[in-house]
C-alpha cells in the first residue's frame, strides 16, 4: 500500500483502533478513512446536507484542537476536514463522535460522498420543497445498506429544492431538481453522462417526491450490478453510463421499480430540458447570494451568511459561532458547498447583536469581501501534486486587493495547484492554475490565468506563466477594467469576460 492510500480507523468495538490499515482500497477520506497528506493526516467528516448542531461543532472543534492543527476546513461538498493530525484519534473518541451523529452509523459506507442540498433548505423564501427530509432518508438508507460500500467513493447525489440559493449547477452524479408542473412539485432526474466535468444531463423523467428514494435505490443497484466492487478503482457512474448508454441503464432501473418512469400519458420519456428552463435562476446567480443578512420564508426570522476565508475556521471561532447559533438561532450551523456557513432562524430583534458577535469573532458577513468568493485547494503545504502554495497566495492576493479596490458584487477567484481542481469543480470567474517555471534565474511558482466560461476546462486562457510576484497587480488591473467597462452593475465578472475579446481583457 502506497503512502497516499487511505487508512481506516475502526470503531471501538473492533479493538484499540488507532490508524488500522484497511486491507482493501483507496477511497475518499472519511471519519473512519483518514488520508496521509503533506501536512499530516487528514480526516473528513461527512455532514449530510451540511447541517451541524452546536454540540457536534464543539466535539469537532475539540478534535481539531487535541489532534489536529486547531482549525477545521469546510469543503466544497459541505464536509468538515480536520488536518495536520499527528497522532491517531482514539477509537473511543470515534465511537463518541458516531454516537453524536457524526460520520455514518455504519463505518463501511462512511467514505461515500456527502449528500448535497441547498444550505437554505427549509428557509429559502422561493424554494418549492424542503429537501432536508430527502437528505436524511437517503443518508439513513446508505447506513442501513452495507452493500453500498461497493459504490465509488465519488458517487454523488444532490437534491435541489428550486430556491434562490440553488445547488443544481454543482457537479454531481445524480441530481433531483424540484420543478413546478401544474401547481404540483415534482423532481426532474439528471445524471452525469458524457464528458467529465459537465453538469448532469436531464433524463426527461419527472418524479413525484415519494418516488425519489426508490429511484435512487434502483439507480445504485444497477450501478452495483455492473461494477466489479473488488477492483481497486471503482467505475464512476459517468463511465458506466457512457459505456452502457442511458437508455439501457434506465431500462434496468425500471425493472426494479413498481411504477413507470415513462410519462404516463405518452409512454415516452419527457423531453429533456436544460436546467435553466426549469428555474428562474440564471447561470451563476445564487452562488454567493447567501452571504450577508437575508429574510427567511418564516416571517420575522433571518439567516446570516458568514465569510470563511478559504473555508477555514479556527476551532475557537467554530465554538463561538456554535454558541451564537444556540443563543440566538435554532442551535445549528449550515455549511455551504461554497465553503462558508450560515446561522439561521435569528429573530429580527437579535440580528444586530449577532452581527456584532460575529465581528468580535474576527469574521465578516459581507458579500463584497474579496474573500467571500475566494477558493483555493490545499496547495503544496497539504498536497504533493501542487505546483504552488495556493492558500498563502490566495490570502496574500486578498490582502493586496482589499486595500486597493472595493467590489460591489462577488468575484469568484479560484486557485488550483494542479489541473485536478479539487477545491472547485464548476467554472469560476477567474481561475489561477499553479505552475512551476524558470524565471529570474531559478524555478518559481506562478499561474496560468483563465476567465469565464468556455469549452476549455478552466475557461479562456488570457495569460501564461505569471509569477506570483506579478499576479496581484495583474488581477487588480483585470478587476479595474471590469468595473469601468461592464454594461451595468449587475453584470458579473464572468458575464463581462464572456462577451469580451481576449485583447480587451488584456488591456
Interacting residues toward ligand SF4 by CB under 6 A? 377-378, 383, 385-386, 416-418, 420-422
Question: Nearest distance from residue 436's CB to ligand SF4, in Å?
Answer: 12
* Of 306 and 433, CB closest to ligand SF4: 433
Distance from C-alpha of 176 to C-alpha of 108, rounded to nearest angstrom: 25
Distance from C-alpha of 66 to C-alpha of 20, rounded to nearest angstrom: 20
* Of 377 and 430, CB closest to ligand SF4: 377
215-230 as b/e, with b when 16 or more CB fall inside 10 Å? bbbbbbbbbeebbeee
DSSP letter string, 290-331: TSEEEE-SSTTEEEEEEB-GGGEEEHHHHHHHHHHHHHHSSS
* Of 144 and 384, CB closest to ligand SF4: 384
Question: Nearest distance from residue 383's CB to ligand SF4, in Å?
Answer: 3
* Of 233 and 268, CB closest to ligand SF4: 233
Question: Nearest distance from residue 434's CB to ligand SF4, in Å?
Answer: 7
Sheet of 7-8: strand order equals 7-8, 33-37, 40-45, 80-85, 71-74, 312-314
* Of 39 and 110, CB closest to ligand SF4: 39
Helix axes 471-485, 390-402, angle to 10 degrees: 50
Question: Nearest distance from residue 27's CB to ligand SF4, in Å?
Answer: 16
* Of 256 and 457, CB closest to ligand SF4: 457
Question: Nearest distance from residue 423's CB to ligand SF4, in Å?
Answer: 6
With contact defined as beta carbons under 8 Å apart, do 452 and 498 qualify? Answer: yes
Question: Nearest distance from residue 77's CB to ligand SF4, in Å?
Answer: 14
Residue number with the smallest Cβ distance to ligand SF4:
417
Q: How far is CA 172 from CA 80, 152, 243, 383, 458, in A?
A: 19, 13, 18, 24, 18
336 strand-pairing partners: none
Question: Nearest distance from residue 417's CB to ligand SF4, in Å?
Answer: 3
* Of 443 and 502, CB closest to ligand SF4: 443
40 strand-pairing partners: 37
With contact defined as beta carbons under 8 Å apart, do 114 and 78 qualify? Answer: yes
* Of 117 and 386, CB closest to ligand SF4: 386
**What does DSSP assign to residue 259?**
S
**What does DSSP assign to residue 221?**
H
Question: Nearest distance from residue 429's CB to ligand SF4, in Å?
Answer: 18
With contact defined as beta carbons under 8 Å apart, do 473 and 483 qualify? Answer: no
* Of 56 and 386, CB closest to ligand SF4: 386
Question: Nearest distance from residue 33's CB to ligand SF4, in Å?
Answer: 17
Cell of 179: 420543478
Question: Nearest distance from residue 5's CB to ligand SF4, in Å?
Answer: 15
With contact defined as beta carbons under 8 Å apart, do 503 and 485 qualify? Answer: no
Phi and psi for 372 in degrees, rounded to 5? -65, -25
Question: Nearest distance from residue 466's CB to ligand SF4, in Å?
Answer: 18
Question: Nearest distance from residue 73's CB to ligand SF4, in Å?
Answer: 11
* Of 114 and 386, CB closest to ligand SF4: 386
Cell of 48: 449530510
* Of 160 and 389, CB closest to ligand SF4: 389
* Of 114 and 416, CB closest to ligand SF4: 416
Residues 6 or more apart whose CB falls under 8 angstroms from that of 97 comprise 31, 45, 59, 60, 63, 103
Q: Cell 478534535 appears where?
A: 63
Contacts of residues 430-437 at CB distance under 8 Å and 24 or more positions apart, as own/partner, are 430/475, 430/478, 430/493, 431/458, 431/459, 432/390, 432/393, 432/471, 433/458, 434/379, 434/386, 434/387, 434/388, 434/390, 435/387, 435/388, 435/465, 436/387, 436/388, 437/465
Amino acid at each position: 500500500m502506497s503512502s497516499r492510500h487511505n487508512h481506516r480507523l475502526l470503531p471501538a468495538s473492533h479493538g484499540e483502533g488507532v490508524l488500522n490499515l484497511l486491507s482493501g482500497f483507496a477511497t475518499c477520506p472519511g471519519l473512519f478513512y483518514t488520508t496521509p497528506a503533506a501536512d499530516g493526516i487528514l480526516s473528513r467528516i461527512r455532514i449530510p446536507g451540511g447541517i451541524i448542531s452546536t454540540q457536534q461543532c464543539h466535539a469537532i472543534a475539540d478534535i481539531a484542537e487535541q489532534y489536529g492543527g486547531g482549525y477545521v476546513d469546510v469543503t466544497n461538498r459541505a464536509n468538515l476536514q480536520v488536518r495536520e493530525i499527528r497522532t491517531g484519534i482514539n477509537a473511543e473518541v470515534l465511537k463518541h463522535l458516531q454516537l453524536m451523529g457524526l460520520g455514518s452509523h455504519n463505518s463501511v459506507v462512511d467514505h461515500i460522498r456527502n449528500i448535497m442540498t441547498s444550505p437554505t433548505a427549509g428557509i429559502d423564501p422561493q424554494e418549492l420543497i424542503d429537501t432536508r427530509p430527502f437528505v436524511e432518508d437517503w443518508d439513513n438508507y446508505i447506513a442501513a445498506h452495507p452493500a453500498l460500500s461497493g459504490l465509488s467513493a465519488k458517487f454523488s447525489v444532490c437534491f435541489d429544492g428550486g430556491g434562490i440559493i440553488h445547488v443544481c449547477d454543482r457537479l454531481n452524479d445524480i441530481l433531483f431538481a424540484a420543478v413546478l408542473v401544474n401547481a404540483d412539485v415534482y423532481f426532474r432526474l439528471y445524471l452525469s453522462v458524457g464528458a467529465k466535468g459537465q453538469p448532469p444531463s436531464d433524463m426527461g423523467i419527472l418524479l413525484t417526491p415519494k418516488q425519489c428514494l426508490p429511484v435512487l435505490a434502483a439507480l445504485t443497484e444497477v450501478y452495483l450490478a455492473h461494477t466489479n466492487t473488488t477492483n481497486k478503482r471503482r467505475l464512476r457512474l459517468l463511465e458506466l453510463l457512457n459505456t452502457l448508454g442511458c437508455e439501457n441503464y434506465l431500462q434496468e432501473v425500471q425493472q426494479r421499480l413498481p411504477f413507470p418512469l415513462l410519462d404516463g400519458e405518452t409512454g415516452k420519456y419527457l423531453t429533456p430540458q436544460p436546467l435553466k428552463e426549469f428555474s428562474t435562476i440564471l447561470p451563476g446567480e445564487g452562488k454567493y447570494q447567501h452571504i450577508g443578512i437575508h429574510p427567511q420564508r418564516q416571517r420575522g426570522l433571518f439567516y446570516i451568511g458568514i465569510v470563511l476565508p478559504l473555508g477555514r475556521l479556527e476551532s475557537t471561532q467554530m465554538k463561538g459561532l456554535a454558541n451564537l447559533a444556540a443563543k440566538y438561532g435554532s442551535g445549528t450551523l449550515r455549511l455551504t458547498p461554497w465553503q462558508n456557513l450560515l446561522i439561521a432562524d435569528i429573530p429580527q430583534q437579535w440580528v444586530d447583536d449577532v452581527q456584532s458577535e460575529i465581528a468580535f469573532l474576527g469574521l465578516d458577513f459581507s458579500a463584497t469581501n474579496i474573500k467571500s468568493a475566494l477558493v483555493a485547494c490545499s496547495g503544496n503545504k497539504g498536497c504533493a501534486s501542487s505546483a504552488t502554495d495556493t492558500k498563502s497566495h490566495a490570502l496574500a492576493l486578498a490582502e493586496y486587493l482589499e486595500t486597493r479596490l472595493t467590489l460591489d458584487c462577488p468575484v469568484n477567484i479560484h486557485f488550483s495547484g494542479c489541473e485536478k481542481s479539487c477545491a472547485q469543480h464548476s467554472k469560476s470567474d477567474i481561475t489561477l492554475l499553479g505552475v512551476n517555471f524558470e524565471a529570474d534565474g531559478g524555478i518559481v511558482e506562478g499561474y496560468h490565468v483563465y476567465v469565464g466560461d468556455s469549452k476549455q476546462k478552466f475557461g479562456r486562457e488570457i495569460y501564461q506563466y505569471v509569477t506570483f510576484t506579478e499576479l496581484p497587480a495583474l488581477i487588480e488591473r483585470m478587476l479595474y477594467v471590469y468595473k469601468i467597462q461592464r454594461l451595468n452593475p449587475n453584470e458579473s465578472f464572468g458575464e463581462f469576460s464572456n462577451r469580451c475579446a481576449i485583447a480587451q481583457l488584456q488591456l
